[in-house]
Structure 1
Amino acid sequence: MDRTVYLNGEWLPEADAKVSVFDRGFLFADAIYEVTAVIDGKLIAYPGHAARLRRSLDALGIPMPVGDDELLALHKEIARRNTIQEGLIYLQISRGAQDRDFVFPQDLAPTLVMFTQAKRVLDNPKWKTGLSLQTVPEGRWAQRQIKTVQLLYSSLMKTEAARKGYDDVLFVEDGYITEASSANFHIITTDGTLVTRDLSNALLHGITRGSILDLAQRAGLKAEERSFTVDETRSAAEAFITSASSFVMPVVSLDGHKIGDGTVGPTSRRLLEIYIEDQLQQGDAIAP
């Protein structure tokens, strides 16, 4: 597929979209990214992603290169140019390019890149079977609430786990689960309570996570935001991860041990259904 890519104000064929070798995103992973899903020609949970993008940029002191209205217009335009009705829009903003130096000036011009990925988001076979996860030690940097492109440790751990037959990893720090390689993690206790890690710099403040908590309250499901251990997870009735691309993904085993009866649970299934229904109602249509 010869996609059209957006790069610093230009629409380019993907083969012609080039970023400087001196870009700090390339040299130092000094960059922020966001991924927005597209379903049925609508941007899913876009306001949350746009707000988190600004928070992450502010945390690193990178100026936002475009205004709010232009950013939304760019998302819609790149989807139209690549005829994306279902898939993902990836956006990345780096601090910009300079000769390699740990110390950076305050006046660098940020690099803004956007591209699309066509994907059948609503046809995920793992929704029916669930995921098998492996616990691994937490090894990422401390400021995980900032959505940076520093994903090497997550990539290495997930790749190693995949070679062992697992679908993903769960990071464990000081005996408590933080999150999966690129998703927030949640459990349903045997008394039907939804438990998710409380927000801090230990984990990404997931947009889908927040939506699920809101939907759970509206559905009358008790929810708690707190730390929880691997043992508590293994004894849970259900578990699932949430992310922008997989929405609500059931987890059926951890380190080879079944969670619940080892099948997709009814609460996880129901939360997925109402999340998709809710987001399709709220989604921002791409077509003019």
Structure 2
Amino acid sequence: MITRDDVLAAQRRTAGHVRRTPLLQVDEDAWLKAEFLQHTGSFKARGAFNRQLAAAERGELDPATGVVAASGGNAGMAHAFAARSIGVPATVFVPEGTPAVKVDRLHAYGADVRVAGREYAEAYAAAVAFAARRGAVFCHAYDQPEVAAGAGVLAEEVLADLPDADTVVVAVGGGGLLAGVLAAVAGQLRVVAVEPVTAPTLHAALAAGEPVDVAVSGVARDSLGARRVGAIAFELAAAAPDLVSLLVGDDDVVAAREQLWRDTRIAAEHGAAAAHAALTSGAYVPAPGERVVTVVCGANTDPATLAPAR
């Protein structure tokens, strides 16, 4: 389990490497944490830098072999970007069928992109084997203490910028962001964890009493597509007495994404819009005067899909 001390250490370590993203007030008692403005377009850069910088501090990061990750999405881009910034090579394994636009982004960040298998699990296994064979630092997409602690730094910024906040709302995929936020706020704020009904990893784990595999589909599967919640997130979530775990429908996610674009011109990806959907759909109804911060965690999406057909 990670603690707030781990998050504070990550904050010190990553200062100067990540952006301090703003809070945008959108209503009397509602704010958006603009993490879509982070490097690479998502919160994942925070954990990537913390993981790699910590490995460097311990002397584990060989400048010849660098880091390795498995992800054709936000995590892969974040680890590739962090590696380039630090000055070490990054190898990223992706499954067949990864969209060309994402592969191109990985190449643009300097990654050596390797295709392995038809599913993420096969790419993951290839990355683990590469790390063992070559001595590269393995960087998980979400279920690593330093990755989760790095993500939690955004919650420290919320606490500093809005000390009288009551609630923070986050989307859950593998749970790295949730784990970091839970560790950071530790009884100071209510945490609302939101998942699409088509990818209920945390919800299913809490019901079962342990992480379990779930079928994943739906509009947010590209970013909230983990089949099982991470062990770190589950441990923290199961121990959090006031955690609220909610499910929203795909239609709610689409509507929330369109509302963000229409009212704020934020081009959120579906996974990021899932958190906002908890409020716009009525799945979570704040009490009168409750001050709520919703984390808009990424914007790696095609803005053209937001424009209404004409």
TM-score interval, normalised by the smaller of the two chains: under 0.3
State which structure, 1 or 2, has the greater radius of gyration over its C-alpha atoms: 1
Q: What TM-score, normalized to structure 2?
A: 0.24
Q: What TM-score, normalized to structure 1?
A: 0.25
* Larger helix percent: 2
* Larger strand percent: 1
